[in-house]
Structure 1
Amino acid sequence: MNLQPHLALLARYNRWMNLRLYEACGQLPPEALAADRGAYFGSILGTLNHILVGDRVWLQRFAEHPSGKASLAPVTALAKPATLDQLLFRDFAELCVHRRWLDELICAWIDLLSEDDLDDCLAYRNMKGVPARRPFASLLLHFFNHQTHHRGQATTLLHQAGQDVGVTDLLALIPDDDLA
């Protein structure tokens, strides 16, 4: 099975959903985005920052893989997050700009991956410094699943705040294969 096209679909889905999510967030005042809503990361802003923290942590690890050395170099220049709940951006407009930039970088990098790249393992250290070595393709699936999981939390918080993100299913990006 050729996994790369599926990862490219997940990268495009990530970008598409983030655009929709951030558009809905932009309808709320800053106080509503920062309000503690009792969620795991407190606020909508906290949840969006957590997704970004996770992306940055994983992309900096992926940059150590031969496939990421050049294309993920801009991410290695960023400060490493200290904690999973770190607010990298308190200003929503700055967060939006960074999110769009990162999503474009993710899509471009994923498009460059080969099946041989996906067959490798990646050695890394978790945030506590514990070493691990896992299949690269599985880590990429985790990367995209993590985003989806927390975007689901964010869409719930937005719904509670009166904002509808609309369709969130990956199915919306899967082309219909006309069997007729």
Structure 2
Amino acid sequence: MNGVAYFQRMARYNSWANQHVLDACACLAAGELEAPRVAFFPSMIKTLNHLLVADRLWLGRLAGTPERLALDSILHADFAEFRIAREAQDARIIAFTEQLDPETLASDLTYQSMLAGAYTLPREIVLAHMFNHQTHHRGQIHSMLIEAGTKPLAIDLVYYCLEVDA
């Protein structure tokens, strides 16, 4: 599998895993999304919003339309509104990867960090980071979901490949 195909698969997997997490969140009792939790962003809704913010920042940089958002911004406190925004962002990520070509993927990206100066990294590293960051915080949300009483989710990449993308 070439690099472009790999990132296209990762975009589809990312959306699939997010759907499973969103479905679990939708079944929670009132107040559970906002309840204080032990995590870097101390509730499920704050962690979900952080992921949306980060994806907007990273995709904006990659697409040449950078945004300026605080990493702890709450873009959507209402879960139904959040879900619509998350699904739209996942569709944008998939569309972005569908138009990638090997030359663009291999090129460097210079961007302005939210916390420091400018950096230059290969686009493939930035894109890999975006998906890795999603997985990192999605795991935290998964842990919070279990704490809230949901069943563990089978959202690893191998499950996606076995179910959808074999």
In which range does the TM-score fall when normalised by the shorter chain?
A: over 0.9
In 2, the alpha carbon distance for the partners of 1:84 and 1:173 equals 28
In 1, the alpha carbon distance for the partners of 2:38 and 2:135 equals 20
In 1, the alpha carbon distance for the partners of 2:92 and 2:110 equals 22
Q: Which residue matches 1:140? A: 127
State the TM-score, normalizing by the size of structure 1: 0.85
Once the two structures are TM-superposed, the CA of residue 150 in structure 1 deviates from its matched residue by 0.3
After superposition, residues 62-77 of structure 1 pair within 5 angstroms as 62-64=62-64
Once the two structures are TM-superposed, the CA of residue 165 in structure 1 deviates from its matched residue by 4.8
User: May I ask how many residue pairs the two structures share in their alignment?
Assistant: 164
Measured against aligned partners, the alpha-carbon deviations of 1:140-180 in whole angstroms (never above 9, x if no partner) come to: 0001000000000000000000112521110123259x9xx
Q: 1:56 to 1:155 in 2, by over 3 A?
A: same
Whichever residue aligns with residue 14 of structure 1, its letter is N
- SS of the residue corresponding to residue 74 of structure 2 reads coil
- SS of the residue corresponding to residue 148 of structure 1 reads helix
In 2, the alpha carbon distance for the partners of 1:39 and 1:166 equals 18
1:97 and 2:56 are equivalent in the alignment: no
Identity of aligned pairs, percent?
38
State the TM-score, normalizing by the size of structure 2: 0.92
Once the two structures are TM-superposed, the CA of residue 105 in structure 1 deviates from its matched residue by 1.1
Q: 1:46 to 1:164 in 2, by over 3 A?
A: same
Q: Which residue matches 2:106? A: 119
Q: Which residue matches 2:68? A: 80
Q: Which residue matches 1:155? A: 142
Higher Cα radius of gyration:
1
What is the aligned-residue RMSD (CA, Å)?
Answer: 1.8
Q: Which residue matches 1:169? A: 156
Measured against aligned partners, the alpha-carbon deviations of 1:32-69 in whole angstroms (never above 9, x if no partner) come to: 100111221010101101111110111111121xxxxx
Q: Work out whether residues 30 and 92 of structure 1, in 8 Å CA contact, stay in contact via their aligned partners in 2.
A: no
Runs of 4 or more consecutive aligned structure 1 residues displaced over 3 Å after TM superposition: none
In the alignment, structure 2 segments of 5+ residues that lack a partner are none
Whichever residue aligns with residue 80 of structure 2, its letter is A
Whichever residue aligns with residue 52 of structure 1, its letter is L
Q: Which residue matches 1:31? A: 31
In the alignment, structure 1 segments of 5+ residues that lack a partner are 65-72
Q: Work out whether residues 142 and 153 of structure 2, in 8 Å CA contact, stay in contact via their aligned partners in 1.
A: no
In 1, the alpha carbon distance for the partners of 2:155 and 2:61 equals 28
